[in-house]
Structure 1
Amino acid sequence: MPVTFGQPFKTGDWKHKETGLVARDNFNQPVPLQYDDISSYRDGSSRFAVLNAQLSGLQAGERRIINLFTGSASAPPQLLPSNPAWNLSLEAKIYNQQVNVVTFGDRNGHTDGTPFLVGEKIVMTITGPTTESFQQTITSDMAGGGYITLTKIAEAFQQLVNSQSQTYIGEKIGGGYEKLWLKTKNPAQGAFQVSFSYSGQAKIAQVNQSNYEAPQTWVIDGQDLLKQQISMANASQASANRRFHGPVASEFKLAIPFKNVSTGKTHDFLTARLDTRMFEGGQKIRTNVIIENNWTFKANPKNVTYEMAFKVNGATVHQQPIFTHYHHARWQKMLWTGVEPKVQLRHNMRYFLDSRAVWNYDLSIRVSEATLAAEATNLARARTQQATLGPMGNAFLEPSFGSTGGRPEIGPLPRWTALYLISQDERARASMMAVADAAAAVPIHFRDENTDSPINTVANPNVSTHFNSNNLPDSTDPTIWGPDTAHQASYVYVPYLLTGDNFYLDEAMFWASWNVFSMPASYREFGKSLINRQQVRGSAWALRSIGEAYRIVPDNHSMKSYFKTVLDNNLAWYKQNYVVNHLGSPMGAIQHEVGQTPPWQNDFVGTVMALLAENNEPNAKDVHDWFSQFNVGRFMNDANGFCAAHAPGYYWMNADAQGNYFTTWNQLYAANYPGDVGKPCSSIAVTEGYPDNAGGYAAYARGMLGAAAGAQAPGAAAAYAKWKAMTPLMDAEFAKDPNWAIVPR
């Protein structure tokens, strides 16, 4: 029974360059063990490794413990069959579907165009597989030439088409404003034409975004490439495509473009990556089939609509129904040749958290059966509702990242990830992994054709996808997604820590890389790759993603030095500008605008910086202590005129009308809470920041203080204890939503 998992280590526990790692079970019997993809601390000890173990005699329902010890090095690698019974092939039927984009009105930016008038009639006729007409009369709320009224016209026609037609479908993608995308429900139904009957003066325009073509078949066959890699492994020859090769498991990374069966042409965008892991001398083979549409420099990137058959030895083992694969997105499907092991693995979570790979979540929380049962119900419902999106479904994620309001994915870790760390229940795990897979559908994945890795902004200092300075090939094809940094979650970091799967390692690198080059090159000082010139919360989450990637990318990976450089550059910038040069408020607050600071967003930065400080990253401790003056001080200065009841604020003025920064707590308090000046702090109830909620500003502060105490910021432990006592109703809510349930170590 083979099992693969990721394992973080405490600093200094395993000096892998000096000694190996061995395993024994709870019967004190040796367990064959292999370790790979090691990421080291800066002191040289192992921070993280991917472990493969081979269990013997494991019975159904049996629980067995694997204990790890330092010891002798691994045994010699397994010998692999030269021609394994794998023969995996993929067959994609790709549809070139017609997509017609209709634009109502001729507005120019914020300048209204020629208006539609109340009572005017618009008849849209679609002629193709069927001929259908849809009529809309302009109502008072649709009249005009601005984006609000034009959007309502587009939405009205979308509703008409989708409620009346059996052939056509209308879509409003990413907001879309006055635009309506029209296509056939079945992409093989052929071409169509759109015409309008309208006698008014306003404008209606349309363009074919893509034209219909007959479906074509594209294939890949991985057997010969796998045989080549096996031959090199058995001969102890180095290979860039080999992830690991040892006594328990060997894994090969095979990248193959799809080819047209008729012409032999290679597809411009669609590539299969077959992460093929072999156990027991090739008797069991686990293949993670990853389909990517994410080249960076290929011209005219686009969505690809297809259905796909997965075949082993010519027999179909899985069929992916038709769906549209978004540009700059990817997805995965796991296949087994041989008997698939059915194993649930749980970590020693106390040690897992003590490694400081993640924050110290409160393991005393007991997640209720009702909460976990609801996870399974909600996930099943989401999958049913999103079935037509196929692998591009969003699971529990909000596709429009910038939507206002708190969401369960926004926090140090998403709600589902925190639920799993605390409970290690399979239902929480399923939600966490579904969200991780959904993140792969977001169009932020840019693989450099020259390096076969995510974009390196040190080597490519000018690249940017920012709308003001985009210099990469762009796609006009619609997706459901509107990504940003300010509302971004940590989707895949913990899934990689748990599984060791290369898919999630690549995901972490894609997100961290995009968070840098989604900014204008000049904003990030080009090759320095700085992330500070954006919303305070955006800087926090971007820095978190960079730190995550640096911690997990293996030492021998080509991107390791890149993420080290980017992390070091950003921490050095924060120290130089805040700690040394005292940028902005001398009280340690980060500005949103001149003279204004959002305390809750400062808490985001403080929480992220605390984990970096706990991991002894250069300059992180000094920077965290500087910001903790403000973040911790808000809770500990009752005697100096600032009552802690108001500490979880929304936006505060922290400078006077002349732009002079406040330097004392009573100045800050008087400017923002003048009605409470002079009142005893004991008389002021905690009502600000949703103190009885697990996802409000008060909860952000609780998590920040727990993290700050773990990083040994001055006064943080006392501040945490005080704030916990002041927000007692929050604890019960953390059992349902624990993404801010961080406690002092």
Structure 2
Amino acid sequence: MTFGQPFKAGDWKHNTQGLVARDNMNAVVPMQADEISSHRDGSARFAVINAKLTGVQPGEKRIINLFTGSASATPQLLPSNPSWNLSLEAKIFNQQVTVVNFGDRNGHTPGTPFLVGEKITMTIAGPTTESFQLTINSTTAGGAFDTLTKIAEAFQQLVNSQSQTYLGEKIGGGYEKLWLRTKNPSQGAFQVSFSYGGQAKITQLNQSNYQAPQTWTVNGQDLLKQQITLANASQSSAVRRFHGPVASEFKLAIPFKNASTGETHNFLTARLDTRMFEAGQTTRTNVVIENNWTYKANPRNITYEMAFKVNGSTVHQQPIFTHYHHARWQKVVWTGVEPKVQLRHNMRYFLDSRAVWNYDLSLRVPEATLAAEASSLAQARAEQAAYGPMGNALLNPSFGSTGGRPEIGPLPKWTAQYLISQDERARASMMAVADASAAIPIHFRDENTDSPINTITSPNVSTHMNSINLPESADPSIWGPDTAHQASYVYVPYLLTGDNFYLDEAMFWATWNVFSMPASYREFDKSLINRQQVRGSAWALRSIGEAYRMLPDNHNMKAYFRTVLDNNLAWYKQNYVTNRLGSPMGAIQHAVGETPPWQNDFVGTVMALLAENTEPNAKEAHDWFSQFNVGRFMNDANGFCAARAPGYYWFNADAQGTYYTTWSQLYARNYASDVGKPCSSITDIGGYPHMAGGYAAYARGMLGAAAGAQASGAAAAYAKWKTMTPLMDAELAKEPNWAIVPR
């Protein structure tokens, strides 16, 4: 079995000590530790562990204990020509997509109007010939984007309710546009025509044209044999993750080739993370399919079906679906006997390592909650079957949608549920969300380095709508990603599994959070993330810290993430602690004279974990922000009642832009009606204190994290706020995103 293991700073000095394992019967457990990431003091922070258990019976529980000691370093000898022989066969469809545009408006200026009573008949001729008629009425008449949108939506409804052959889609902010395609991508070409006697304009353009399906293949056997030869000869390899007494893993990257012509596909690439056990008798291959290249012209969605074959026999069939541009997916395939092992970490030690925040292990996730989560996941999978691996699982694909969501927080709800319960249903949801995040079109792999974009060596790259300088795709997806509403999707899944797929995924998200900003905003190669919404800065900084902590010391991107993390923490210290940027009370601004306390809590929570991990400048920055974040709860005597501490947006400067410097000034400006009331008389606690996902809960998690980072007064503030929000406790057991407690 393979798993990830975080370590406390100082526990394992891996440069001078080995690591060994014994079970609860004191028998030696063969093991190896690889992909080691170090704390700043040089001791091991994290390692991927491969271990071999023998004689385990069904249902048996066995404890593995890890110790420092002399570890075996003799790697297994691998067969020169393994029986693995994995191949992939993709049948790729090039489907016609026709975009119809109703009207000729110019921005906010209406065009020639459609008039009440006019009839529009749209005929689609191809595999079948079908007509759809719409009569313009008072709600669809006109030439502005609102009425033209209604016309496009009306035709979409007509096509989708009446046709067995064709499908109408509305993509993003397409307004007056309607996308038409066949439901089955192999059904061929079609023509669209209109019968309309009015003066308004109707135009159309084929976004893509139909071509007959083509077969594209990948075979990794020869490349694997090459890597085995190098490993058996003790020669190094850039694509070998590890090679030891228990397991060897190779990262094989192979483009798809046309079965007829031998042509290499411009976009579709297979990455076969191939892990061999028992000297090659058992092999686990994480098949990763990517459509991720950064600089290739005309990136696009690709529609295909795919078969995975071992020695010519199909072991997995992926039904037809559309693979979004700049997205990826995975499927694990075993040859030989697949081990059926459920691993549980010593969660107290896991949290004490400071790999994550100190979640409240005294909570018990209710059985009804776990059962409901399993039901929700099953329902989501059934409803999203047509999306294949591009489905959104339990995520909201529209990141900017208003309101709270279960993925928003230091960690998503399902991840926190798993850390607390280690229940397999919570794990299933956590892993489903991690896999769904790979379908989001934010994945940019540099063809020149085969790694995610490096914004230090490529300082001008940006995908921001105002400064994009990379090839764009006009193809749609269900996703609308941003940084301000972003979750931590894959960090804990990697810490648990050690799978390279999640390591790559973390790098993709962290780099996108940098280059999705204009290059000038991030000061080019400095790769700063501060010039955006306060919450966006928090989550971007979290992703950078996660990637840095996850990456092995010898990884080619480690130095990049160390530099980017250091640059950002140095910026925060220099501009806030040293230069006293903004509020002298420690608040971060949203706009001139305005700050969102709840978003400050996000920054404080992220900065606390960085401070706990002794990242340079993090402690100083966290202490500065804690003046505001912790002080809001501890200044009843100075004119600011804690009942109002979890605010939404506050004015923290006067009309002339002069920042307030006292708690009484801040309180009077934002809670004038409460001034003069004893704090003990205010019983309507702010921030939804009965909820696990309100501002009061954000504050509680922030205070728990701040106490862990030893911010002044944080432990007392946490205890006080917990007493003031007793109804939250039961809800945090169900939704523990913010159930962080002092260490």
**TM-score interval for Structure 1 and Structure 2 normalised by the shorter chain:** over 0.9
Deviation at 1:369, TM superposition (A): 1.1
- The counterpart of 1:570, out of the listed 559, 568, 571, is 568
Partners in 2 of 1:69 and 1:707 — Cα distance? 30
Query: 1:589 aligned to 2:554?
Result: no
Q: Show the 5 A alignment for 1:96-175.
A: 96-175=94-173
- The counterpart of 2:75, out of the listed 63, 77, 85, is 77
Query: 1:55 aligned to 2:53?
Result: yes
The AA in structure 1 aligned to 2:11 is: D
Identify if the C-alpha distance between structure 1 residues 629 and 211 changes in structure 2 by more than 3 Å, giving closer, same or farther: same
CA deviations on 1:259-308 (whole Å, 9 max, x unpaired) are 00111100000000000000000010000000000000000000000000
Partners in 2 of 1:331 and 1:105 — Cα distance? 39
- The counterpart of 1:434, out of the listed 432, 435, 452, is 432
Q: Show the 5 A alignment for 1:285-300.
A: 285-300=283-298
CA deviations on 1:313-342 (whole Å, 9 max, x unpaired) are 000111000000000000000000001001
Partners in 2 of 1:390 and 1:666 — Cα distance? 56
Deviation at 1:515, TM superposition (A): 0.3
Q: Show the 5 A alignment for 1:305-704.
A: 305-704=303-702
Cα contact 1:21–1:74 (8 A) shared by 2: no
Partner of 2:213: 215
Deviation at 1:74, TM superposition (A): 2.8
Partner of 2:255: 257
- The secondary structure found in structure 1 opposite 2:726 is coil
Partners in 2 of 1:107 and 1:609 — Cα distance? 48
Structure 1, 97-106 or 160-169: larger mean CA deviation: 97-106
CA deviations on 1:43-94 (whole Å, 9 max, x unpaired) are 1000000000000100000000010000013330000000011110000000
- The secondary structure found in structure 2 opposite 1:6 is strand
The AA in structure 1 aligned to 2:402 is: T
Partners in 2 of 1:351 and 1:551 — Cα distance? 17
Partner of 1:248: 246
The AA in structure 1 aligned to 2:18 is: G
The AA in structure 1 aligned to 2:635 is: N
Deviation at 1:477, TM superposition (A): 0.5
Partners in 1 of 2:97 and 2:591 — Cα distance? 43
Partners in 2 of 1:144 and 1:600 — Cα distance? 44
CA deviations on 1:338-387 (whole Å, 9 max, x unpaired) are 01001100000000000000001000010111111111111110000000
Partners in 2 of 1:422 and 1:280 — Cα distance? 34
- The secondary structure found in structure 2 opposite 1:134 is strand
- The secondary structure found in structure 1 opposite 2:82 is coil
Partners in 2 of 1:294 and 1:571 — Cα distance? 30
Cα contact 1:303–1:324 (8 A) shared by 2: yes
Partners in 2 of 1:289 and 1:689 — Cα distance? 45
- The secondary structure found in structure 2 opposite 1:30 is coil
Partners in 2 of 1:636 and 1:104 — Cα distance? 60
Partners in 2 of 1:120 and 1:740 — Cα distance? 57
Deviation at 1:197, TM superposition (A): 2.0
Partners in 1 of 2:113 and 2:613 — Cα distance? 60
Identify if the C-alpha distance between structure 1 residues 690 and 146 changes in structure 2 by more than 3 Å, giving closer, same or farther: farther
The AA in structure 2 aligned to 1:337 is: T
Partners in 2 of 1:218 and 1:160 — Cα distance? 37
When the two structures are superposed, what TM-score results if normalisation uses the length of structure 1? Answer: 0.99
Partner of 2:42: 44
- The secondary structure found in structure 2 opposite 1:11 is coil
Identify if the C-alpha distance between structure 1 residues 725 and 458 changes in structure 2 by more than 3 Å, giving closer, same or farther: same
Partners in 2 of 1:648 and 1:147 — Cα distance? 40
Deviation at 1:241, TM superposition (A): 1.1
- The secondary structure found in structure 1 opposite 2:664 is helix
Partners in 1 of 2:675 and 2:211 — Cα distance? 72
Identify if the C-alpha distance between structure 1 residues 115 and 662 changes in structure 2 by more than 3 Å, giving closer, same or farther: farther
Partner of 1:177: 175
Structure 1, 95-104 or 529-538: larger mean CA deviation: 95-104
- The counterpart of 2:222, out of the listed 221, 224, 232, is 224
The AA in structure 2 aligned to 1:368 is: P
The AA in structure 1 aligned to 2:8 is: K
The AA in structure 2 aligned to 1:527 is: D
Partners in 2 of 1:46 and 1:284 — Cα distance? 29
Q: Show the 5 A alignment for 1:276-287.
A: 276-287=274-285
Partners in 1 of 2:645 and 2:140 — Cα distance? 45
Partners in 2 of 1:565 and 1:491 — Cα distance? 23
Partners in 2 of 1:177 and 1:490 — Cα distance? 32
Deviation at 1:144, TM superposition (A): 3.1
Partners in 1 of 2:74 and 2:592 — Cα distance? 63
Structure 1, 293-302 or 130-139: larger mean CA deviation: 130-139
Q: How many residue pairs end up in the alignment?
A: 743
Structure 1 residues not aligned, in runs of 5+: none
Partners in 1 of 2:185 and 2:263 — Cα distance? 22
Partner of 1:707: 705
Cα contact 1:97–1:183 (8 A) shared by 2: yes
Partners in 1 of 2:112 and 2:560 — Cα distance? 52
Cα contact 1:168–1:183 (8 A) shared by 2: yes
The AA in structure 2 aligned to 1:636 is: M
Structure 1, 197-206 or 86-95: larger mean CA deviation: 197-206
Partners in 1 of 2:110 and 2:623 — Cα distance? 51
Q: Show the 5 A alignment for 1:24-35.
A: 24-35=22-33
Partner of 1:720: 718
Partners in 2 of 1:617 and 1:107 — Cα distance? 54
Cα contact 1:686–1:726 (8 A) shared by 2: no
Partners in 2 of 1:640 and 1:142 — Cα distance? 60
Identify if the C-alpha distance between structure 1 residues 113 and 718 changes in structure 2 by more than 3 Å, giving closer, same or farther: farther
Partners in 1 of 2:209 and 2:312 — Cα distance? 33
The AA in structure 2 aligned to 1:54 is: K
When the two structures are superposed, what TM-score results if normalisation uses the length of structure 2? Answer: 0.99
Cα contact 1:174–1:400 (8 A) shared by 2: no
The AA in structure 1 aligned to 2:695 is: Y
Structure 2 residues not aligned, in runs of 5+: none
Deviation at 1:731, TM superposition (A): 0.6
Partners in 2 of 1:710 and 1:551 — Cα distance? 18
Partners in 1 of 2:414 and 2:341 — Cα distance? 21
